[in-house]
Amino acid sequence: MRTFILIASLMSPLLFSTSCDLLRMVKEKVPSILKVTVVDENDVPYGYVTVTLVNEQGRVIASVSANERGGALFREGLVAGTYSFVVKNATGTELKVLEPQTVKVALGRTVEVTVKVERVVAETDYD
């Protein structure tokens, strides 16, 4: 009985480490997809913007260009987690994200989210 307890106590960290490695491998191999639609404060689609996805650690995961209807798709390197957005218009001006501040993505799931931003009106000089 003592031998069994000794072997079990020695194997416990190994089993825990192996299960953590297995979970990490599953998270890396089962991709998640995030479908984003960018709209302005009046819910009008805001096209041709750059949407950057940032993880909880502040690391940029990917940047994609939205189509004319504000649609953008993230699938490469996307694993389960909580993400925030940085949105820039065609001139590179960062737009204020009104909602949501973050989005939670589940393992192997497709999540659709509408990101509402404040539209920047270009200033013109009539002098």
pLDDT digits (tens, 9 = 90+) for 38-93: 999 999 999 999 999 999 999 999 999 999 999 999 988 788 999 999 999 999 99
Question: What per-residue confidence (pLDDT) applies to 16?
Answer: 54
Give the chain's domain count: 2
Cis amide bond preceding 100, omega within 30: yes
Whether residue 55 sits in one domain with residue 3: no
Query: Is 122 a domain residue?
Result: no
The model's pTM: 0.73
123 within domain boundaries: no
The answer to whether residues 19 and 42 belong to one domain is no
- Cβ distance 55 to 77 under 8 Å? no
Q: Is the domain of 15 the same as that of 50? A: no
Q: How far is CA 51 from CA 12, 121, 125, in A?
A: 44, 19, 29
Cα(50)–Cα(11) distance, integer angstroms: 49
**Is residue 40 located within the same domain as residue 26?**
no
Structure tokens at 77: 């390197």
Domain that residue 94 falls in: 31-117
